[in-house]
A and B are shown apart, each in its own frame.
Chain A
Amino acid sequence: MRLTRWWSRKGAKIAHAKETSNLAFEPLAPPALLYFPVQQHQGAPAVPVVKKGDEVRVGQLLARADGPVSANVHSSVSGKVKRIEPVLHPWGIWSTTIVVENDGENRMAELPPGVKDPTELSPEEIQRRVEEAGIVGMGGAMFPAAVKLKPKARVDTVIVNGAECEPVLTCDHRTMLERTDALLYGMKALRHALGAERVVLAIEENKPDAIRLYRELSKVYGYFEVYSLPARYPYGAERVLVPEVTGRALSPGKYPDSVGVVVHNVATVAAIADTLREGLPLIRRPLTVAGGAVKRPANMVVPVGTPIAHVLEAVGLKERPRELVMGGPMMGITVASDEVPVIKGTSGILARTEAELHHFRESACLRCGRCVDTCPVGLMPTQLARLSARGRFDEADRLGVTECIECGLCSYRCPADLPLTQLIRMGKREVLKKARVKRGA
């Protein structure tokens, strides 16, 4: 058993750099101005329901979901809507954003009553409340969580993703240690809402304290089990996680619900618990602030909508960062300004110095095959990158470029220092764009 597991292991061992794992969450006070983009999820942007000058309270709905794949946006402070205009978004776009002036009084909106035990609610009611609360996947993908609560096929297994395979980030780890009751409640709620037989909390081996804690708890409560994942990157990625935990292979282009599995990040599960138990919508998110330019790395609970400049101010900067990253060092996105707000999917803020940057110095491909060996979804990165660079997107499509999960391991392992992931990402987008055009035509 151990040998087969060793043999079938995916991805690669990379430096964990989880220095912040012992730092407890500290709450961050909201700044004077908060920015709530209507696009904080995958799918259609939400539609503002407030107007300039409106008084808003904590937890009040600011923008309503538009369509089946979308999510509500709520205010994390009380105050006044100062303006609604396009503002720079972490993705680099100018997204319609509701700017709220914080009055510092923290007046709460009327929230739906919480329930002590999630099994008191019907599955439909849980789904409705999660939808109302605007909860999205907080691991970074920002897929509306409510959509995953009405799966097309029967779901028998819920995987709660506590892998946190990204280096540096420790907010999921801290969530597991500090928000135990919320996680237990959330797992119970998910099990009940989906009628699942198994709830599996998957944690990477590099977090032995969390594994120990939840193994003990699972003996007491029994409605979930703990799965210890190899401490390799990217075991937290759905396409690697689902086969590892359930033994069911995911076909190309299919989501986990095709094999009866739903995956939720631990932070999402805790947010679902907050909603059902206290009526709180998703207005705060745990994140890790780190990077060489940061004086005091920390784990924080930040009100959604806080500009990252305010977060960086709270931890202090040693020097002007050369690069700002939202998310982890492997899959995080580079943001072009510190004015962009923390959104629901922001799992980390890294302020990196010149010394931490990697400048690609491309040389010729050695055909060593390291990228092929390391690709967790079994692609041929060197070939895909080559085809993308030459604009031969049709051929890249035939070789499965759309299956790429953009984990970045191929670039990380490449001895010729080729920007493989970026090229593949470009190819992937061109293929998807073409498919969209074709569908539209």
Chain B
Amino acid sequence: MGATVSTIVTATATMGAVGAFFAIALVALAKRTASAEDEQIELLTNLLPGNNCGACGMAGCAALAQALAKGEAVPQSCPVASESQIQKLAEALGLTETVHRERRVARVRCGGHRAISQWRADYEGVLDCRAADLVGKGGKGCVFGCLGLGTCSRVCPYGAITMSPTGLPVVNEALCTGCGLCEAACPRGVIAVMDASQEVFVRCVSTAPGKQVRSVCEVGCIGCGICVRVCPENAVEMLGHLACVDPNRCTACGICVEKCPTDAMQIILEDAGVLTAV
């Protein structure tokens, strides 16, 4: 019994002493070798959002902080940080220019869910839009629209994208930081990151003529140009067969949304979220 107690005491004391020695030694070494740069990197890391999402193209916030300290990046390199966070980073780096940043969010520019779009073929294989897109552009009739395999929702580090039961991604704008990873991952360019203040956009990316759009989808932009004609602010223009809203001119009056014959034009309503037929 006595032997056991003394064993415990000896072991604890020895390990404690070794631990204390190394702790003191490490702290002393750290203090001696500490540089101003290290401190700055730590400060910058703390000022960054800290999500480690990798949207800046680096391994994480610490990596971006290092790049910032070396002058290889600018505060705006972080696509997620808010205006005030960027301002603080700029101050910490001694930059004087003021930075403006709007809050940006991802928006889904396709409304062709399974019930209202045609499918040419059954796709079978790796359940990833990027893989399906390489097999004859996937089975969807529209070669521009959302394939619905949810790659965007899986790459989102913020859990902001979920797939609706009808196979379209739904962005929870409260969680979305506008990092752009989903935009980069989508093989169809269906997801676009835009200013959160932009209220009206076209929920279609098909550049095909109207006849073809009609043949595969009920809600695609057919390029009729009604929106261009009815817009009192001249904020809509046609890029080939696709309408495009200029956010700087749009006042979100909603006339184009009302007149759009296929409901491709969308308006974000503050209380109801996206007005869609999903």
Note all chain A residues with C-beta closer than 8 A to B120.
88, 336-337
Task: Tell me if A119 is interfacial: C-beta within 8 Å of chain B.
Answer: no
Beta-carbon contacts under 8 Å, B110-130 to A: 120-121, 124-126, 128, 130
Task: Tell me if B84 is interfacial: C-beta within 8 Å of chain A.
Answer: no
Note all chain A residues with C-beta closer than 8 A to B136.
90-92, 333-336
Beta-carbon contacts under 8 Å, A75-96 to B: 85-86, 88, 90-94
Q: Are A94 and B208 in contact (CB-based, < 8 A)? A: yes
Q: Are A429 and B134 in contact (CB-based, < 8 A)? A: yes
Which A residue's beta carbon lies closest to that of B119? A336
Interface range, B side: 20 to 34
Beta-carbon contacts under 8 Å, B160-174 to A: none
- The 8 Å CB contact of A359, one of B124, B135, B138, B154, is B124
Q: Are B155 and A422 in contact (CB-based, < 8 A)? A: no
Per-residue A-contact encoding for B179-215, CB less than 8 Å = 1, 0 else? 0000001000000000000000000000011001000
Q: Are A86 and B125 in contact (CB-based, < 8 A)? A: no
Assembled-state Cα–Cα distance A94/B120 (Å): 13
Q: Are A92 and B137 in contact (CB-based, < 8 A)? A: yes
Task: Tell me if A6 is interfacial: C-beta within 8 Å of chain B.
Answer: no
A94 to chain B, nearest CB (A): 6
Note all chain B residues with C-beta closer than 8 A to A419.
125-126
Task: Tell me if A425 is interfacial: C-beta within 8 Å of chain B.
Answer: yes
Task: Tell me if B131 is interfacial: C-beta within 8 Å of chain A.
Answer: yes
Q: Are B143 and A94 in contact (CB-based, < 8 A)? A: yes
Q: Are B135 and A93 in contact (CB-based, < 8 A)? A: no
Q: Are A86 and B209 in contact (CB-based, < 8 A)? A: yes
Assembled-state Cα–Cα distance A360/B136 (Å): 18
Task: Tell me if B139 is interfacial: C-beta within 8 Å of chain A.
Answer: yes
Per-residue A-contact encoding for B204-233, CB less than 8 Å = 1, 0 else? 000011001000000000000000000000
Note all chain B residues with C-beta closer than 8 A to A334.
121, 135-136
Q: Given A86-B209, A86-B212, A429-B130, A93–B137 Cβ distance below 8 Å? A: yes
Task: Tell me if A430 is interfacial: C-beta within 8 Å of chain B.
Answer: yes
Q: Are A93 and B125 in contact (CB-based, < 8 A)? A: no
Assembled-state Cα–Cα distance A360/B135 (Å): 15
Note all chain B residues with C-beta closer than 8 A to A86.
208-209, 212
Per-residue B-contact encoding for A423-441, CB less than 8 Å = 1, 0 else? 1011001100000000000
Which B residue's beta carbon lies closest to that of A337? B120
Note all chain B residues with C-beta closer than 8 A to A430.
130
Note all chain A residues with C-beta closer than 8 A to B126.
389, 419, 422-423, 426
Note all chain B residues with C-beta closer than 8 A to A92.
135-138, 143
Assembled-state Cα–Cα distance A337/B121 (Å): 8
Assembled-state Cα–Cα distance A426/B130 (Å): 6
Which A residue's beta carbon lies closest to that of B121? A336
Beta-carbon contacts under 8 Å, A301-354 to B: 333-337
Q: What are 27 A-B contacts with C-beta separation under 8 Å?
A: A85-B209, A85-B212, A86-B208, A86-B212, A90-B136, A92-B135, A92-B138, A94-B143, A333-B135, A334-B135, A336-B120, A336-B121, A336-B137, A336-B139, A337-B120, A360-B125, A389-B126, A389-B128, A391-B185, A419-B126, A422-B131, A422-B135, A423-B131, A426-B126, A426-B134, A429-B130, A429-B134
Task: Knowing that A92-B136, A426-B128 touch, tell me 18 more A-B residue pairs with CB under 8 angstroms.
Answer: A91-B137, A94-B208, A334-B121, A334-B135, A334-B136, A335-B136, A336-B121, A336-B139, A337-B121, A389-B126, A391-B154, A391-B155, A391-B185, A419-B125, A422-B135, A425-B131, A426-B126, A430-B130
Q: Would you list the 5 A-B pairs with minimal beta carbon distance, nearest first?
A: A92-B137, A92-B136, A336-B121, A336-B120, A426-B131
**Which residues on B are within 8 Å of A, measured CB to CB?**
120-121, 124-126, 128, 130-131, 134-139, 143, 154-155, 185, 208-209, 212
**Which residues on A are within 8 Å of B, measured CB to CB?**
85-86, 88, 90-94, 333-337, 359-360, 389, 391, 419, 422-423, 425-426, 429-430
